[in-house]
Amino acid sequence: MSCQANRPGAGNAITFPVLQTFVNRFPVLLPLVLLAYSTARAQTPPQEPPLPLHSFRPGEVWPDDHGTAINAHGGGILVYKGVYYWFGEHKIEGPRGNRAMVGVHAYSSTDLYNWKDEGIALPVSEDWTSEIGRGCIMERPKVIYNARTGKFVKWFHLELRGQGYHAARAGVAVADRPAGPYQYAGSFRLNPGVWPVDPGDPPSLAAGKPQAAQGDSNARLIADMPAGQMSRDMTLFVDDDGTAYQIAASEDNLALHITRLTPDYLKADTRYVRVFPGGYNEAPTLFKRAGRYYMITSGCTGWGPNAARSAMADSIWGPWTALGNPCAGTPEQVSKTFGGQATYVLPVPGKPDAFIFMADIWRPRNPIDGRYVWLPIEWHEGRPILRWRDEWDLGAFGGH
Ligand code: GAL
């Protein structure tokens, strides 16, 4: 289904060939035809905005305030002054729609169900030499607000045009207003020349014993030391004390790196930890509940869905304990994360134990038709649990 499919009034266009034939045959009736046409036009009701939505319907087309399908894939949510801002990859039709042909799209909402189109918050550049020139890859954008500087800071996964996924860089853009426009501030690999911290031991590679047979995570870490560590699938997390972190699939996706950001949130702050080296985690999300840190991630199977994973830690620096697959349901749902891949976990403000798991159902052959799966996180013996729901609302967290 195309992005325009839900636009109201799409069938209203008058068919000119029919009108022309009629007028050619009966020219004297032209004034009458015009009168009838203008009366009919005047009686056509104005285009109605879509009805307000009162629930989430995972996997279904989700219309914005114009009735157009929301186009914000691999996204995340900023909450600022009581308004939610959803940023995501704007995809277009056809296989080349997986590359950035338009930019990062922004939407705003006050209730999480109904989203106003705020336009393209960070457009691709028309300058062929720009790092974010049309045709590059801009994925998984996330925005956080820096109370010290008053700036909105967006990080995203950037791949340079024509280089596949080899550049593996973090891109940064900055705005004065939440919905943008964002000014591109540059891109980089993370932590060149810096060794990761190793909780409990002096900094060493001891914690990096590969957990999987495939790939040598330590070798990749060492090889990337001079130029900086890779940064692919990523998210951002701001802790209670205002310290921000970037969490990214690094070492050719063999390990996750959690990197502290500088106080202005614009750069890496040379302190980072490796999580599950050799574990092949992608699509990281990180959130905090009752003083503990949690992650929900995916395995590495490209656009195809796989089984989600979850983990927990008392300190963001680890050690991280694997908690297993958070999905409950049929074997197909559990092994494929309901057809989706994680992108963000939103703590719902004002509801202490309310977390929304956000995932993408990718449609790589027609990316604009990708869908969103939002589900409430349930808890069982300290573990996050995800269960499919055809439809749900925030009442699922208790109260309204
Ligand atoms: C996925 C990743 C997506 C995108 C895709 C490309 O594993 O999560 O963000 O990079 O691979 O194949």
Q: Which atom of ligand 1 is nearest to the CA of 232?
A: 10
Which protein residue's CA is at the shortest distance from atom 2 of ligand 1? 302
DSSP-derived letter for residue 265 is S
Does any domain span residue 222?
no
CA of 74 to the centre of ligand 1 (A): 9
Does any domain span residue 137?
no
Strand partners, 120: 105
Say if CB 327 and CB 310 are below 8 A apart.
no
Does any domain span residue 84?
no
Does any domain span residue 139?
no
Which protein residue's CA is at the shortest distance from atom 6 of ligand 1? 302
Number of domains making up the chain:
2
Does any domain span residue 160?
no
CA of 303 to the centre of ligand 1 (A): 6
What is the per-residue pLDDT for 244? 98
Q: Which residue pairs, CB below 8 angstroms and at least 24 apart, start in 67-72?
A: 67/6, 67/7, 67/8, 68/3, 68/4, 68/6, 68/7, 68/117, 69/1, 69/3, 69/5, 69/6, 69/368, 70/107, 70/115, 70/372, 71/3, 71/105, 71/368, 72/105, 72/106, 72/107
Q: Rounded to an integer, what distance in angstroms lies between the CA atom of residue 187 and that of residue 131?
A: 8
Residue with tokens 């399908």: 69
DSSP-derived letter for residue 97 is G
Report whether residue 118 contacts ligand 1, using a CB cutoff of 6 Å.
no
Which protein residue's CA is at the shortest distance from atom 11 of ligand 1? 302
What is the per-residue pLDDT for 24? 56
Q: Closest Cα to residue 133, out of 161, 156, 111, 114? A: 161
Q: Which atom of ligand 1 is nearest to the CA of 301?
A: 7
Q: Which atom of ligand 1 is nearest to the CA of 98?
A: 6
DSSP-derived letter for residue 390 is S
Report whether residue 74 contacts ligand 1, using a CB cutoff of 6 Å.
yes
Q: Output the six-digit token pair for 145.
A: 């607000």
Does any domain span residue 237?
no
The CATH number given to whatever domain includes residue 297 is: 2.115.10.20
Say if CB 170 and CB 187 are below 8 A apart.
yes
Does any domain span residue 392?
yes
CA of 287 to the centre of ligand 1 (A): 21
What is the per-residue pLDDT for 54? 98
Burial class of 333 by CB neighbour count within 10 A (0 to 12, 13 to 18, 19+): middle
Q: Which of 303, 343, 361, 363 to mutate for ligand 1's pocket (most ligand atoms within 8 Å of CB)?
A: 303
What is the per-residue pLDDT for 1? 33
What is the per-residue pLDDT for 29? 56
What is the per-residue pLDDT for 352? 83
Report whether residue 58 contacts ligand 1, using a CB cutoff of 6 Å.
no
Report whether residue 283 contacts ligand 1, using a CB cutoff of 6 Å.
yes
Does any domain span residue 76?
no
Structural domain of 324 = 283-400
Say if CB 147 and CB 95 are below 8 A apart.
no
Interaxial angle between packed helices 30-43 and 16-25, expressed in degrees from 0 to 180 and rounded to the nearest 10: 150
pLDDT in 10s for each residue of the chain, 400 residues:
333 333 333 333 333 344 455 445 555 555 554 444 444 444 444 455 667 999 999 999 999 999 999 999 999 999 999 999 999 999 999 989 999 999 999 999 999 999 999 999 999 999 999 999 999 999 999 999 999 999 999 999 999 999 999 999 999 999 999 999 999 999 999 999 999 997 444 334 334 443 333 467 788 999 999 999 999 999 999 999 999 999 999 999 999 999 999 999 999 998 999 999 989 999 999 999 999 999 999 999 999 999 999 999 999 999 999 999 999 999 999 999 999 999 999 999 998 899 999 999 999 999 999 999 999 999 999 999 999 999 999 999 986 5
